[in-house]
Structure 1
Amino acid sequence: MVGKKRNWAVTIPLVILFLLFAVFSLFPLFALILASLKPSTELLRFGLNLRLDWDLMSLKNYSFIFQGASDYFLWYRNSIVFTVLFTVLCLLLSAMVGYGLAMYQFRLKNTIFLLVLIVMMIPVEIIMLPLYKLMIGLKLINTVWGVILPFVVAPIPIFFFRQYLGGVPKDFMDAARVDGCSEYGIFVRVMMPLMAPAFAAMAILQAMNSWNNFLWPMIVLRTNDMLTLPIGLSSLLTPYGNNYDILIAGSVLAILPILIVFLFFQRYFIEGMTAGGVKG
């Protein structure tokens, strides 16, 4: 009984503390939602705040978006297409590279892994100009592939999958070979199901990075019908008028896809991150 009382004495304050942290972290989101219901004049006067002024709050900003007065849903569709293609290709290709580095022995294996670590340390901004010239040479400017291909095999997912597979016994591969499975079949039928937590963790992170990506798409994309949501929303701010009300309402709707992805994969997220952070 004494031990249970001590456990409760420690657990209850921790639960209260974490609840306070959770409520505090949700304040910006709550303020953003409230701001999306107010006119721009109110935002310019008081900024983001938690004031509940029912006389000023309405759904006019959202109705403006849904009435098609801007290209918002065109940008939304482009962002979804870019994010889905990038996430699927990045997970598949990076997982194959990480799998090869973790499970096979070959010449220059450690050198290749060292190069992956070096690329992780290089800021993306440094290689923007060479990448841009490469996209011009390949005639991929203002295309989906011009946005996706330069980063589709990313060093961070490669490192993550390599570390995750370092804790997977190679006996699974040997057993599959005995059963007559090919090397590609081993990866698809045996290893990929075992890598489900790692795929889920990386799916959340890579989808979020692609969805919020601003600088590279802004450099590559030229026409309005190809713009992604971050670039399209930024175009609402001009020297001739700042549509903060529409911008904030659009930002609230932009949160939904990433929220759905996280809720869908959250059961695997912690497991994948903790398993991928250590080498077995």
Structure 2
Amino acid sequence: MNMLSATAERRVVLRVFIAIFLVGLSFVVLFPFVALLLASFKSASELMRFGLNLRLDFDVLSLKNYLYLFSEQGKIYWTWYKNSLLITLLFTAISLFLSSLVGYALAVYNFKGKNTVLFLVLFLMMIPLEILMLPLFEEMIAFRLVDTYWGVIVPFAVSPFAVFFFRQYAVSLPRDLLDAARIDGCSEFGIYLRIMSPLMIPAFGAMGILQALHSWNNFLWPLVVLRTDEMFTLPIGLAGLLTPYGNNYDVLISGAVLTVIPIIILFFFFQRYFISGLTIGAVKE
């Protein structure tokens, strides 16, 4: 009886320590975001004086920075915002469609060279972007896609990681549905569109979040391809405002806070698909 009581006490103590650790870890994770949010309501002089902190003084908090962004002077910021949104939406939609088609084909059909294609997909996942930038940029020049949305989207529309992810997910889907659909006279593309795509919704949700996040935060390739201020995305535009001759950190921080909003909305609506899509696709073969 005493042994059971001692074991129960140890479990309670362990749970208390775990809870304290997780609470402390959550503070560490949330501090940058909360500090950034508070800093967006402060003046540049206040930021230079105290830096990023959780100091809450209503006398120094104001909407001046956000009002500046919504004024005529901040018009270029919303041009960057529009560019980022448009590129992210197009890239995510095209990438999900094409990558899921390739992954589905690798999982369902048997054809000559299938294993070679799968090996190439895995091999391409290991190649860093920096190696591909020069030949890709030369292709963009040849196709006259420099300083265009398509120049940012097309080179990476089919992601090797997304192809492999959809392939792993499609392998776990029942084959009986495919045979039944073929007997009913459904075309191969119709099977993918009407039967398999609804079954892969968790995979679409998970990969959609990852692809959208990648496109929204993408800096290096758009920096290479885009040339004019009116075509810049948010990461390039905000980085370009940083100069050695002085910066409006208050406005920059406010702009950075607004860039987080679409990602928060995206994850809020698709988080259940994100979790289920990752777990199912990872453990089934």
Q: Smaller-chain TM-score range?
A: over 0.9
Within 5 A, what are the aligned runs for 1:194-209?
194-209=199-214
Q: Does 1:116 align with 2:121?
A: yes
Q: Which residue of 1 aligns with 2:252?
A: 247
Q: Which residue of 1 aligns with 2:98?
A: 93
Aligned-pair CA distance for 1:75: 0.7
Q: Which residue of 2 aligns with 1:39?
A: 43
Q: Output the CA distance in 1 between the equivalents of 2:175 and 2:12.
A: 43
Q: Output the CA distance in 1 between the equivalents of 2:278 and 2:16.
A: 27
Aligned-pair CA distance for 1:268: 1.1
Aligned-pair CA distance for 1:9: 7.3
Which SS does the other structure have where 1:239 is aligned? coil
Aligned-pair CA distance for 1:16: 5.1
For the structure 1 residues 159 and 65, does the alpha-carbon distance in structure 2 shift closer, same or farther, using more than 3 Å as the test?
same
- Higher mean alpha-carbon deviation, 6-15 vs 45-54, is at 6-15
Is 1:164–1:278's contact at 8 Å kept on the other side of the alignment?
no
Q: Does 1:221 align with 2:226?
A: yes
Within 5 A, what are the aligned runs for 1:1-280?
14-15=18-19, 17-70=21-74, 71-280=76-285
Aligned-pair CA distance for 1:46: 3.0
Q: Output the CA distance in 2 between the equivalents of 1:251 and 1:49.
A: 16
Q: Output the CA distance in 2 between the equivalents of 1:128 and 1:48.
A: 36
Equivalent residue pairs, number: 280
- Higher mean alpha-carbon deviation, 172-181 vs 188-197, is at 172-181
Q: Output the CA distance in 1 between the equivalents of 2:17 and 2:262.
A: 34
Q: Output the CA distance in 1 between the equivalents of 2:225 and 2:119.
A: 30
For the structure 1 residues 12 and 190, does the alpha-carbon distance in structure 2 shift closer, same or farther, using more than 3 Å as the test?
farther
| Letter of the structure 2 residue corresponding to residue 228 of structure 1 | T
Aligned-pair CA distance for 1:276: 1.5
Aligned-pair CA distance for 1:270: 0.8
Q: Output the CA distance in 1 between the equivalents of 2:255 and 2:272.
A: 29
Aligned-pair CA distance for 1:171: 1.2
Aligned-pair CA distance for 1:232: 1.1
Aligned-pair CA distance for 1:32: 0.4
| Letter of the structure 2 residue corresponding to residue 168 of structure 1 | L
Q: Output the CA distance in 2 between the equivalents of 1:231 and 1:279.
A: 40
TM-score (norm 2): 0.92
Deviations 1:113-140 (A, max 9, x none): 1001111001111111111011000100
Aligned-pair CA distance for 1:8: 7.3
Which SS does the other structure have where 1:241 is aligned? coil
TM-score (norm 1): 0.94
Is 1:101–1:113's contact at 8 Å kept on the other side of the alignment?
yes
Q: Output the CA distance in 2 between the equivalents of 1:59 and 1:4.
A: 53
Percent sequence identity is: 57
Q: What stretches of structure 2 of length at least 5 have no aligned partner?
A: 1-6
| Letter of the structure 2 residue corresponding to residue 215 of structure 1 | L
Taking only aligned residues, the RMSD between alpha carbons, in angstroms, comes to 2.1
